[in-house]
Structure 1
C-alpha cells in the first residue's frame, strides 16, 4: 500500500477539492498520511492569486523532498493550469496536472513511477467544462462544500477564469445530497464555497437554478446546525438572500463581500460589476435586518492608477462602513491580465504601506465589532484544536471565543454570554444564565 500526503495552498475551494482527491486515493487503496510521514507520493494543490503563492509552491516542493527524497511529487491547481511548463522545471516535480485532469490523476498516473522527464497533463482551459462535486472531510466541526466553479467575469487583475474556466455549478439536488452525506459524518457546520458562489445555477452556460433557491433548499436539511456563505459578490447579494438569512435558523449572520476598492475610478479600471454606492447599500441592508451581523471585506491596494487620493478615498469609505474585518491584498501583477498595461504603476513600497494602513484599520474594526457584542448571548460551536489548555469556537456571527478546554464541548454548541476581550483579541465568555436555569 503506497502512502500519499497532501498540501493545499490558497482558498477554501482548494481545500474542498484536495479532500475529495484524497478520498479518491483512499478508495483506490492508498494510505493517506501526514506530510512528514515519509509518503511515497505528494499531491500539492496550488494557488496562483499572487506571486507569493507561486513562491510558496516551490518551497513546499523543497520541504517535501527533505522529508521523503524519493517521493513522487504531483502538482495540481490554479498554478498548474497557468504555468505547467514552469512547474515541471522545478527540481523534484514528477507530474503536473491541469484543471481538466486533476480529478483523474490516479487514473492518469496509475503506478506513480518516476520517468526520465516530468509528465505534464494540462489541456486548454476550455476543456475544464465539467463540475466536480467536492467537499472537505476530516475536520469534524466544519466542512467546505463546493457548489460552483469557474468565473465568467473579466476583472483586469484576475487569472482565475484562465485557471478554472467558465462558470458552472452543481445542481441543487446534488448539493443537498452532499449535505446529507456530511450530516452522517457528524459535522455541524457547512461553508458554501466556489469561485463566484453567488453565480450558482449555470448549467452548460444557461441559468437553470439560482443561489437563492439553493439557500432555501439547504435550509431544510436536518442535522446541520449552521451554514455559512464563504464569499459573495455585492452585485449578486440580492435583497431576497439577505432577508432569507436574517430569518433563517441555519444560515448564520455572516457575509464576506469583496469590495476591492472604495474608489469608483479604480472599480471601473478593475472592471468590477458594481460601484461603491451599491456596496454601501448592501452593507446598510444587511445591518438594518441583522444589526450584529459580521461582514468581512476583501480589498486590493496599489492597483495601477491608484493615486494617494484614490487610496484615501478607499480608506475613508471603509472607515465609515459598518463592517467587521478586512482581508487586504497588495496588488500583484499577473501574466495574461490587462491591469499591468494600465498607466500609473504604484511602487511596492507604497503598496505595502497602504496595505499596512488598512490592516491596522481592520484590527480597529474587528475590535469595535467584538466590543459591540460584549454582554450579548450566543451559541458557540467549539472546535477540537487545543492550545495551552484552551479551546476556541465561533459564535453565529463569527466572533472567535476562547474557553478552558473541556472534551465534552468539542464539536458541540454551547449557550454563552460574551464577557470581554483578552490580550490576544479573543472573546471570553461564561455559560449563559438562561442555560444555567435549564439545569
Structure 2
C-alpha cells in the first residue's frame, strides 16, 4: 500500500467489522478525511492483533505524513499501546466510532470512553459495500456472556439491539440499491431484543423484517448461539424460503468438560440436538461451526470428541482457531497446551472440515443451484457453497442466476448454465 490521495480502510476480523468499516468509511469521507488510513482492529486472537500492528507499521513506512486512525476491539481494550505505534494520529473507541463528530479532522483528541457504559447501538445506513454482492446489516452489538477464552465483551460492551424499524429501513434501502442478499450481523445476534420495547426475539424481528420487505430475495444470518435459538426462528427456518438454508453455529468445542471450562451455555448433547432439529425442519441445510483447538487442559480424548462432533452433527463448513491466550481472561490462567500442539490439532480439525465440505460439495453434483453472482467470476449458493464461473460467463455482479453444478473440488463448485 503506497501513496494515494483517497481514504484507505484496512479491516481485520469479523463480518460486523466489515459492516462497521463501510459505515466508518462513509463518516470519514463526509468529514473530509480524504487522505487518512483507517485501521479497524480485531482482538479475537493474538495473531489478529499482530496482523493489524504489522499493517500499521507498513502503512506508516510507505505513507509518511498520512494520518493513521485506529479503532476496533483491540484499540478499545488497549488504546495507549495502539496510539504509540508510528504514524497513528488518533485512536477512536468503539463507543464513538459510528458518531460523525469523531471523524472530523479538527476534532480534539479525546480519551477512549468506557465501552461497558454503552446503552445503545448507533444505527448507520450503509448502501455501498465496496463492490461486494451481499450487504451486511448490524442488528445487535456487544455481549453479556463471559466465555473464559473471550475478550470481546471488553471491546464491545454489553448487549444492545437495533430497533426493528431501523433494521427494516436499512434493508429496504439496500434492496433499492440493488442488493439481493442481506446478512444480519452482530456480536451475539441470538441475544437480540431484551433491551427493546416489547422485548422482541431474533425470530420475531426476522419475521417482521421479511414481511415488511417482501422484495428482499435472500436473508442470511451470521453466527448464532445454539443455546439461544428461539421458537420463532425455528419456525422461520422451516417455513420461510427466503431465509437461507445455512446456519453457522457458535459451538467452540465438542467435549462437555471443555465446554464447561469455556463457560459455554450448551453441552455436546444440546449441540447435536440443535443440528438434528435444523435438519428435520430444513432437509439439506448446510451447517457450519466455530471450533477452538488446543483449549487449556484439552486431552487427546477431548479433541477426539470434537472431531467426532464434526461427523455426528454433519458440520460442513468449519471456522477453526488454535486457542490463543487473551490477557485478563480466566482461560489464560489455566494450564496451557504447547503452541505447536495447538497448531497441530487445528490442522487436523481443518482437514476434517475440508473432508466434510468436500462431501457436501459432491452431493450437489448435477443439481441446479441459485447462485448470487460476485466479482471475479465467483459466487455463492443458498447453502453458501463457493462457486466458480467460467471466465467466458457473461453476468451482472449481484444478480441471482439458476445454474447447474458440473464439478466439485476442494475450493467449491463449478457451474454452468442449465
TM range, normalised to the smaller chain?
over 0.9
1:401 aligned residue:
387
1:167 aligned residue:
159
Which of residues 45, 65, 77 is equivalent to 2:72? 77
Segments of structure 2 that go 5 or more residues without pairing to the other structure are none
Q: 3-state SS of the aligned residue for 1:63?
A: helix
Answer with 369-378 or 184-193: which moved more: 369-378
In the alignment, the residues of structure 2 paired with residue 297 and residue 363 of structure 1 have an alpha-carbon distance, to the nearest angstrom, of 13
TM-score w.r.t. the length of structure 2 is 0.93
Q: Give yes or no for contact 1:101–1:121 (8 Å, CA) kept in 2.
A: no
User: Deviation digits for residues 237-263 of structure 1, max 9, x if unmatched?
Assistant: 234413312321311101000111100
Question: Which structure carries more relative contact order (alpha carbon 8 Å, separation 6+)?
Answer: 2
Pairwise CA distance, 1:91: 1.8
Q: Give yes or no for contact 1:44–1:76 (8 Å, CA) kept in 2.
A: yes
> Is residue 18 from structure 1 mapped to residue 16 from structure 2 by the alignment?
no
User: Deviation digits for residues 348-391 of structure 1, max 9, x if unmatched?
Assistant: 011011100000000000000111121222211111x22xxxx1
> Is residue 191 from structure 1 mapped to residue 183 from structure 2 by the alignment?
yes
Q: 3-state SS of the aligned residue for 1:408?
A: coil
User: Deviation digits for residues 310-348 of structure 1, max 9, x if unmatched?
Assistant: 111211222222111211111111112111122x32110
**In angstroms, what is the RMSD of aligned CA positions?**
2.0
> Is residue 216 from structure 1 mapped to residue 210 from structure 2 by the alignment?
no
User: Deviation digits for residues 53-100 of structure 1, max 9, x if unmatched?
Assistant: 111111111221244210111110101110011111212211112122
1:56 aligned residue:
51
Which of residues 87, 110, 118 is equivalent to 2:104? 110
User: Deviation digits for residues 177-227 of structure 1, max 9, x if unmatched?
Assistant: 1111111211111000000011111327x8721101111012221332111
Q: Give yes or no for contact 1:20–1:136 (8 Å, CA) kept in 2.
A: no
Kindly report which structure 2 residues correspond to 1:25-424, keeping only aligned pairs within 5 A, or say none. 25-31=28-34, 40-104=35-99, 107-108=101-102, 110-111=104-105, 119=109, 121-134=111-124, 135=126, 137-138=128-129, 139-203=131-195, 208-220=199-211, 221-342=213-334, 344-383=335-374, 385-386=375-376, 391-405=377-391, 406-422=393-409
TM-score w.r.t. the length of structure 1 is 0.89
In the alignment, the residues of structure 2 paired with residue 86 and residue 229 of structure 1 have an alpha-carbon distance, to the nearest angstrom, of 34
Q: 3-state SS of the aligned residue for 2:39?
A: strand
Q: Give yes or no for contact 1:136–1:144 (8 Å, CA) kept in 2.
A: no
Pairwise CA distance, 1:30: 4.6
In the alignment, the residues of structure 2 paired with residue 190 and residue 237 of structure 1 have an alpha-carbon distance, to the nearest angstrom, of 20
Runs of 4+ in 1 over 4 A off after TM superposition: none
Q: Give yes or no for contact 2:31–2:103 (8 Å, CA) kept in 1.
A: no
Segments of structure 1 that go 5 or more residues without pairing to the other structure are 32-39, 433-439
